[in-house]
Chains A and B, each alone.
Chain A
């Protein structure tokens, strides 16, 4: 059963911020939100994760709403190399459920 809902696809202009939304309305108090991306058919690449506070690292920022029912991954200055499928995952214990993700296309 899917625990997250993401748009199927999105476009973003090169150099602009890419904002990828994710709904996780059934998240429980101790479940983390993780974001991964997959370029072509490579292994998924970890981006960022968080519990309730906003998080930032060298790749992206993660904004989690106060009620924790949704989050947004922000790529501040999208490049062509950011074209990929982005997965939002809510972790239950030690199992990750990937869903089908959002296919982001960065347009020159």
Chain B
């Protein structure tokens, strides 16, 4: 049981290059999330997908696009990378039903992160 798997673990890009960060989970969770974490700061939500076929913006969506490929996979794309996007990116997944109670409010499970540097 791998949990949440992110690839790649490290990447260096030049300004203007594009790339896609991959995330897959094997816990049959319906909701998936992408966060970024800058040095000395907490995680900030970029985009999330409440269920397969839906995506929504978080706090800091500008410069990013996402695709919920299927229930397992949620990718984050940088179309034209900028130095301000240098960060550690975390993917997470969760079972969320929106119905309230403990069953509808399960914790998020996180991957190990992708360390992205843009020169």
Residue positions of A touching B, CB distance < 8 A: 30, 32, 34, 36, 41-46, 49, 87, 91, 93-101
Residues of A within 8 A of B25 (CB): none
Residues of A within 8 A of B59 (CB): 97
Q: Which of B94-117 contact A (CB under 8 A)?
A: 94, 96, 98, 100, 105, 107-113, 115
| Chain B min CB distance to A95 (Å) | 6
A91-B58 contact given A44-B90, A96-B33, CB 8 Å threshold: no
Residues of A within 8 A of B27 (CB): none
Nearest neighbor of A87 in chain B, beta-carbon distance: B42
The contact sample of 6 A-B pairs, CB cut-off 8 A, is A44-B108, A94-B50, A94-B94, A96-B33, A100-B40, A100-B41
Residues of A within 8 A of B43 (CB): 44, 96, 98
Residues of B within 8 A of A42 (CB): 112-113
Question: Does B44 touch A at the CB level, under 8 Å?
Answer: yes
Residues of A within 8 A of B96 (CB): 94
Nearest neighbor of B109 in chain A, beta-carbon distance: A46
B26-53 interface bits toward A, Cβ cutoff 8 Å, 1 = contact, 0 = none:
0000010101010011111100101000
Question: Does B118 touch A at the CB level, under 8 Å?
Answer: no
Among A44, A45, A91, A98, chain B packs the most CB atoms within 10 A around the CB of: A44
Residues of B within 8 A of A98 (CB): 35, 42-44
Q: Say whether B113 contacts A43, CB under 8 Å.
A: yes
Give which listed residue, B42, B48, B50, B112, contacts A101 with CB less than 8 A: B42
Residues of A within 8 A of B48 (CB): 94-95
CA separation between A69 and B108, bound complex, in Å? 23
Residues of A within 8 A of B37 (CB): 41
Among B43, B44, B90, B109, chain A packs the most CB atoms within 10 A around the CB of: B43
Nearest neighbor of A49 in chain B, beta-carbon distance: B107
Task: Knowing that A43-B111, A94-B96 touch, tell me 18 more A-B residue pairs with CB under 8 angstroms.
Answer: A36-B107, A41-B113, A42-B112, A43-B112, A44-B90, A44-B110, A46-B107, A46-B108, A49-B107, A87-B42, A91-B105, A94-B50, A94-B94, A95-B58, A96-B45, A97-B59, A98-B42, A100-B40
